[in-house]
């Protein structure tokens, strides 16, 4: 599987991402959305290797499938895509609950992450195209904080390939969303968006790879 992972990463950064931005810049929306979802589907494929052997892998696979749909819908109707990503995070949280039950450390990580994400989001309140989006952003930020809370402590308390990959994937997911918010609202150039999207794909890949590893 090592070579399949290397090939997936190479194709993501060297072919699918450039193709997505090339099509997007030329207004070819259907092509842009089609190539955009392929790397996430690769993560789905890796997760499916577990064949739902345990509850973690089954719930994680469901989350990846929902996020793949969210990839497409985000470019069709942003609010719908965001709601689907929120649903995907809830499925991820359900999966992560089978790695380790919530603990004091989970609560501490959630509190710190939520405070940080709240402060970050508040800086962009006046840049929101629709003011009601801010409420949705804050709810979504809670899901991101919970994602960190349910993954990072487990990687330290019960380190394994699965828990470490899940923690890294969750952390990259938060990083990608934070940078995406900054890039979109500050109208940063395509290169900034390229690395934000790349972090997202690597997050999904790591989460997908954590499924077959008991």
Burial class (CB in 10 A: 0-12, 13-18, 19+), 134: middle
How confident is the model at residue 214, as a pLDDT? Answer: 53
Residue 129 tokens, joined: 């195209």
Percentage of the chain modeled with pLDDT above 70: 95
Element (DSSP H or E) covering residue 38? helix 29-48
**Is the confidence at residue 130, as pLDDT, over 70?**
no
User: With the CA atoms of 162, 165, 166 and 168 taken in that order, what torsion angle do they form, in degrees rounded to the nearest 10?
Assistant: 160
pLDDT surpasses 60 at 75: yes
pLDDT greater than 80 at residue 127: no
Q: How confident is the model at residue 82 (pLDDT cuts 50, 70, 90)?
A: confident
User: Region 163-167: what's the mean pLDDT?
Assistant: 95
Task: Quote the percentage of the chain above a pLDDT of 90.
Answer: 67
Give yes or no for a contact between 67 and 81, defined as CB atoms under 8 angstroms apart. Answer: no
């Amino acid at each position: 599987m090592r070579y399949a992972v290397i090939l997936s990463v190479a194709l993501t950064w060297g072919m699918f991402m450039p193709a997505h931005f090339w099509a997007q810049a030329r207004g070819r929306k259907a092509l842009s959305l089609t190539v955009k979802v392929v790397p996430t589907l690769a993560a789905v494929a890796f997760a499916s290797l577990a064949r739902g052997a345990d509850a973690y892998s089954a719930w994680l696979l469901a989350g990846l499938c929902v996020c793949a749909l969210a990839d497409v819908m985000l470019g069709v109707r942003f609010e719908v895509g965001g709601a689907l990503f929120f649903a995907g995070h809830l499925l991820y949280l359900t999966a992560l609950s089978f790695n380790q039950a919530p603990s004091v450390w989970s609560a501490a990580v959630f509190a710190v992450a939520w405070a940080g994400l709240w402060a970050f989001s508040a800086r962009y309140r006046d840049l929101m195209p629709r003011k009601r989006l801010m409420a949705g952003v804050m709810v979504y930020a809670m899901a991101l904080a919970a994602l960190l809370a349910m993954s990072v402590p487990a990687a330290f308390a019960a380190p394994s390939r699965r828990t470490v990959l899940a923690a890294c994937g969750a952390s990259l997911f938060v990083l990608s969303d934070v940078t995406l918010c900054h890039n979109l609202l500050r109208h940063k150039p395509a290169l900034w968006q390229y690395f934000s999207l790349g972090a997202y794909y690597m997050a999904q890949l790591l989460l997908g790879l954590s499924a077959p590893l008991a």
